Amino acid sequence: MQTAAVIPPLNERPIKNTIVLFDVDETLTKSRQGVKPEMLTLLSALRQKVAIGYVGGSDLAKQQEQLGTSEIPVTSLFDFCFPENGLTAFRLGVPLASQSFIGWLGEEKYKKLVNFLLRYISEIDLPFKRGTFVEFRNGMVNVSPVGRNATNAERDAFNAFDTEHKVREKFVATLQKEFVELGLTYSIGGQISFDVFPTGWDKRYCLQHVEAEKARPDGVDYTTIHFFGDKTSPGGNDYEIYSDSRTIGHSVKDPDDTLAQVKAEFFS
Ligand SMILES: [Mg+2]
């Protein structure tokens, strides 16, 4: 069904210089769930016309679970796969150069940041604290004043306390002042933590891989970049790439809406 041999090379797709990128959760699949067969059929048909790719915040393993099967690697279903917003990337199934938070920041600056975080956390007075206050991830650091080991009930309790006392807001404001020269973005999300990552390392990060294509001997200058995503309002994780001047943004409600919009755009 998804045979690589029948897919035209990137520089021979009928709609020239065009790539279509998709968010994953609530755009190609329901949140954290598997893809429906009609979506895979549509993507396969679309791939006959244009280059296709996805860009998701999670890692490849999660996307393999949602989009692939034990027989079908997710990297064979798209021309471009951009897990972790493109910090890791695959082109026609082959990995491209990857990037990490520590690689970008360097050990010295990272150490200063973590020392400051831990000192600040040690001095906040909360009704209770648990463990795992700083979690190091490939593309970011996740910071939780109460600790990620908190139970669901403790998360609720911290969240109520945070709403009243603005613990995370004040923490972020302090970091913004202290580390102004590092070029970091702070994103408060979920109940108990916030993320710290280099400015620009949202979904726009993957566009540098798309732009690099034109320099390849068999590469394409993608002058038309469509993006479909569901969290396209300010504060949503699709907002930056959706509103970027390099893309044509499409806001979808859910995967069914993606099916309808892609059909209207490319198959009518
Ligand atoms: Mg989404």
Expressed in angstroms and rounded, the spacing between residue 146 Cα and the centre of ligand 1 is 27
Would the annotation count 23 as a binding residue? yes
Task: Pinpoint the alpha helices (H) of 166-253.
Answer: 167-178, 207-212, 239-243
Would the annotation count 186 as a binding residue? no
Expressed in angstroms and rounded, the spacing between residue 73 Cα and the centre of ligand 1 is 21
Q: What is the pLDDT of residues 121-154, one digit of tens each?
A: 999 999 999 999 999 988 899 999 999 999 999 9
Expressed in angstroms and rounded, the spacing between residue 55 Cα and the centre of ligand 1 is 10
pLDDT score for 25 = 92
| Residues in CB range of 17: below 8 A, 6 or more apart | 220, 221, 222, 223, 224
Expressed in angstroms and rounded, the spacing between residue 175 Cα and the centre of ligand 1 is 28
Q: Which residues are catalytic?
A: 23, 25
Which strand (E) or helix (H) includes residue 134? Answer: strand 134-136
Question: Residue 119: pLDDT above 80?
Answer: yes
Q: What is the pLDDT of residues 181-204, one digit of tens each?
A: 999 999 887 899 999 999 999 999
Question: Residue 76: pLDDT above 60?
Answer: yes
3-state secondary structure of 220: coil
Would the annotation count 221 as a binding residue? no
On whether the 101-198 domain is CATH 3.30.1240.20, my answer is yes
Does this model's pTM top 0.95?
Answer: no
pLDDT score for 32 = 80
What CA–CA distance (Å, rounded) separates 227 from 220?
A: 17
Question: Residue 5: pLDDT above 80?
Answer: no
pLDDT score for 190 = 80
3-state secondary structure of 232: coil
- Which sequence spans correspond to the domains of the chain? 14-87+201-266, 101-198
The CATH number of the domain covering residues in 14-87+201-266: 3.40.50.1000
Would the annotation count 256 as a binding residue? no
What are phi and psi for residue 76, nearest 5 degrees? -90, -10
